[in-house]
Amino acid sequence: MKNFIIFTLFLIAVPGSVWGQKRGISLERALELALENNYEYNAYKLKYEQSKALRPTALSIEKTNFFLAYDSNNMAENEHPLNVLGVEQSFSFPTVYAARYKVADAEISLAEKELESRKVLLFKDVTEAYYEIQYHMNRLMHYNHLDSIYAQFTANVQQRYDSEEIGKLDLINAKAKHQHIQMAGQDITYDTRVAYRKLRMLLNTDTLIVVPFQSLTELPVSDPVLEQVPGMQYMEQETALKKSMLKVEKHNLLPDISLSYAVGSNRFPNAQRYPGYEVGISLPLFFGAQKARIKAGRYDVAIAEKLRESYRNELSLKILELYSEISKFREHLDYYYTTGKELGQEIEMSAQEEYSNGEIDYLTFVESIENATHIKLEYLETLFEYNKKVLELKYLVLED
Q: Are 131 and 71 in contact (CB under 8 A)?
A: no
Distance between CA 181 and CA 169 in Å, rounded? 19
Give the pLDDT mean for 66-90: 88
pLDDT of residue 19 exceeding 80, the answer is: no
- Computed over every residue of the chain, the mean pLDDT equals 88
pLDDT of residue 293 exceeding 90, the answer is: yes
What pLDDT score does 184 carry?
87
More confident position, 281 or 12:
281
What pLDDT score does 314 carry?
94
Residue 27 phi, psi (nearest 5): -60, -40
Each residue's pLDDT tens digit, 265-274: 888 888 888 8
Distance between CA 398 and CA 149 in Å, rounded? 45
CA 137 to chain centre: 25
Residue 285 phi, psi (nearest 5): -70, -30
Type and span of the H or E element at 364: helix 362-394
CATH-assigned architecture of domain 2-394:
Up-down Bundle (1.20)
What pLDDT score does 23 carry?
55
pLDDT band at 42 (very low <50, low <70, confident <90, very high): very high
Q: What percent of the chain has pLDDT over 70?
A: 94
pLDDT of residue 73 exceeding 60, the answer is: yes
More confident position, 126 or 360:
126
Give the pLDDT mean for 46-66: 93
What pLDDT score does 202 carry?
95
Residue 233 phi, psi (nearest 5): -65, -35
Nearest-10 crossing angle of helices 341-356, 94-162: 20
More confident position, 166 or 373:
373
Each residue's pLDDT tens digit, 377-392: 999 999 999 999 999 9
Give the pLDDT mean for 189-207: 91
CA atoms within 13 A on the CB side of 393: 23
Instruction: List the beta bridge partners of residue 277.
Output: 261
pLDDT of residue 360 exceeding 60, the answer is: yes
pLDDT of residue 5 exceeding 50, the answer is: no
Long-range contacts of 169-177 (CB under 8 A, 24+ apart): 170/362, 173/362, 173/366, 174/150, 174/362, 177/150, 177/153, 177/366
Model pTM score: 0.83
Nearest CA to 274 out of 288, 293, 261 is that of 261
Distance between CA 393 and CA 322 in Å, rounded? 7
Give the pLDDT mean for 351-374: 86
What pLDDT score does 2 carry?
47
Each residue's pLDDT tens digit, 361-371: 878 888 898 89
Distance between CA 207 and CA 13 in Å, rounded? 11
Give the pLDDT mean for 270-286: 88
Each residue's pLDDT tens digit, 113-124: 999 999 999 999
End-to-end Cα separation, the chain, in angstroms: 44
Q: Are 376 and 347 in contact (CB under 8 A)?
A: no
More confident position, 171 or 46:
46
Type and span of the H or E element at 88: strand 81-91
Interior angle at CA 73, CA 68 and CA 78, nearest 5: 90
What pLDDT score does 14 carry?
45
Give the pLDDT mean for 238-253: 94
Helix/strand/coil percentages in the chain, nearest 5: 70, 10, 20
